[in-house]
Structure 1
Amino acid sequence: MTRHDELLTVPQVLKELGGVSRRTFYRWRQLGRAPVCVQLPNLELRVWRSDLMAWLDTRRESR
């Protein structure tokens, strides 16, 4: 997390991922394949933008 980082809602994350469904995202979470999430006291999930970008970098195909 950086000083200028932001917390994204699940719908924002889904949009960043090109429209992945909510169901797919939660299945990835169950399988341990989703980006690291922060659970707020109201039980809503958030994802730091930097964690999402790092997670995407780990899935980059080698050339």
Structure 2
Amino acid sequence: MRRSPISAVRRPEEKLTVDELCEELRISRSTFYDWRQKGRAPRCVKLPNGSLRVRRSDLENWLSDCEAAA
């Protein structure tokens, strides 16, 4: 069952998949990877199997930085 970003309980230690991040930000995967290539994406954790995760706290900090820059 997919959780709605609005109703999700936000825990700082929570780690989001790329799909969850894209769904929450309402962006495509290609946009995320473009941002990542340009150094503009939130900080990611690369797991041993090669998949990426984004800590909830890193996403919140990244969003705050984006807001401050606007």
Q: For residues 49 and 8 of structure 1, what CA distance do their matches in structure 2 show?
A: 7
The higher-RCO structure (CA 8 Å, 6+ apart) is 1
- In 1: Cα distance, 2:46 partner to 2:18 partner: 11
Once the two structures are aligned, what percentage of the paired residues are identical? 55
Aligned equivalents of 2:44 and 2:21: distance in 1? 11
Q: In the TM superposition, what are the counterparts of 1:1-63 in structure 2 within 5 Å?
A: 5-17=13-25, 19-60=26-67
Cα distance in 1 for residues equivalent to 2:12 and 2:43: 18
Cα 1:16–1:49 change in 2 (3 A) is: same
When the two chains are superposed, the root-mean-square deviation of aligned CA atoms in Å is 2.0
Structure 1: gaps spanning 5 or more residues:
none
Report Cα offsets for 1:23-58 as digits up to 9, x if no partner: 000000000000000000000000000000100000
**TM-score (norm. length: structure 1):** 0.86
Instruction: State the TM-score, normalized to the length of structure 2.
Output: 0.77
Give the unaligned 5+ runs of structure 2.
Answer: 1-10
- Spell out structure 1 runs of 4+ moving beyond 2 A: none
Corresponding position of 2:5: none
Mapped to 2, the partners of 1:59 and 1:53 lie a distance apart of 10
